[in-house]
């Protein structure tokens, strides 16, 4: 009976339901993880020296100071995110938060954590914003406040429905507004980076709100 119960309480992989060995993934799903590797300090482009911005970022510096990113957006990260975001699976959310927290340890000092906001209409539809969960895990780990209301986002078509970077930039520019005065080192937290247009638009609003240093942390890049 005791053996039966302990089997029942074992963690199962959020992707394939096999027994989980590493946090909420089984060994074979965890082995498929593709870390992003050496990348530009402000975008996901591969570079030989990660302390020097890539040519594109040198020519057009983004409005934030540093990007922290973990993985390529492919399996198993994709399945974990979809299960967290649309399936509301707690284990998947917990796994995603673990990845976010692990990434945040390379940040020297932080004053605030700001989760990427979603438009109010989408928040009502979905019932929760997964970036609050990720941001809260990081804020707790660093002992700093999570500012859920620091940014407000106007309703726009989802970036994923647009097929070019320039369309995404036009769509999102000016969508964010800072609702409170900020200062010091602020970390903006999101789940996935697509073109970087959303992160840039939100960072611009944080800068206008008074943030001195802005880091952007995303678990994965498309």
> Given the rule CB under 5 A, which residues bind Zn ion?
13, 15-16, 18, 26, 29, 40, 43, 45, 54, 57
Nearer to Zn ion, 26 or 93 (CB): 26
Output the smallest distance, CB 143 to Zn ion, in A.
31
Closest CA to 82 of 168, 160, 20, 189: 160
Instruction: Compare residues 26 and 182 and give the one whose CB is closer to Zn ion.
Output: 26
Residue 28 beta carbon to Zn ion: minimum distance, rounded to whole angstroms: 6
Any idea which residue has 């005065």 for tokens?
A: 181
Find the shortest distance in angstroms from Cβ 123 to Zn ion. Answer: 31
> 3-state DSSP call for residue 58?
helix
Closer residue to Zn ion (CB): 16 or 152: 16
Shortest distance, position 79 Cβ to Zn ion, whole Å: 9
Question: Which of 30/119 has CB closer to Zn ion?
Answer: 30
Q: Is 204 helix (H, G, I), strand (E, B) or coil?
A: helix
Q: How far is the CB of 125 from Zn ion (least distance, A)?
A: 30
Tell me whether residue 84 is exposed, middle or buried, using C-beta atoms within 10 angstroms of its C-beta: 0 to 12, 13 to 18, 19 or more: buried
State how far the Cα of 75 lies from the Cα of 105, in Å rounded to an integer: 24
Q: How far is CA 24 from the centre of its chain?
A: 18
For Zn ion, the closer CB: 14 or 205: 14
Q: How far is the CB of 69 from Zn ion (least distance, A)?
A: 11
- Residue with smaller CB distance to Zn ion, 38 or 154: 38
Cβ(24)–Cβ(93) under 8 Å?
no
Long-range contacts of 55-64 (CB under 8 A, 24+ apart): 62/196, 62/199, 62/200, 62/203, 63/200, 63/203, 63/204, 63/207, 63/214, 64/188, 64/199, 64/200, 64/203, 64/214, 64/215, 64/216
């Amino acid at each position: 009976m005791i053996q039966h119960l302990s089997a029942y309480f074992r963690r199962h992989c959020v992707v394939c339901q096999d027994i989980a060995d590493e946090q909420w993934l089984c060994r074979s799903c965890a082995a498929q993880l593709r870390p992003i590797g050496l990348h530009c300090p402000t975008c996901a482009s591969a570079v030989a020296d990660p302390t020097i911005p890539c040519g594109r970022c040198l020519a057009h510096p983004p409005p934030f100071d540093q990007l922290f990113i973990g993985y390529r957006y492919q399996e198993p990260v994709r399945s974990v995110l979809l299960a967290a975001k649309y399936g509301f699976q707690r284990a998947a959310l917990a796994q995603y938060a673990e990845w976010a927290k692990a990434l945040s340890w390379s940040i020297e000092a932080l004053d605030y954590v700001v989760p990427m906001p979603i438009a109010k209409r989408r928040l009502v539809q979905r019932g929760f914003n997964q970036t609050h969960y990720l941001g809260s895990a990081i804020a707790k780990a660093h002992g700093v406040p999570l500012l859920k209301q620091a940014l407000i986002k106007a309703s726009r078509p989802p970036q994923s429905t647009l097929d070019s970077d320039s369309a995404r930039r036009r769509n999102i520019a000016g969508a964010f507004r800072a609702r409170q005065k900020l200062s010091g080192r602020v970390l903006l937290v999101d789940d996935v980076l697509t073109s970087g247009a959303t992160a840039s638009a939100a960072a611009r609003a944080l800068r206008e709100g008074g943030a001195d240093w802005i880091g952007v942390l995303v678990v994965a890049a498309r």
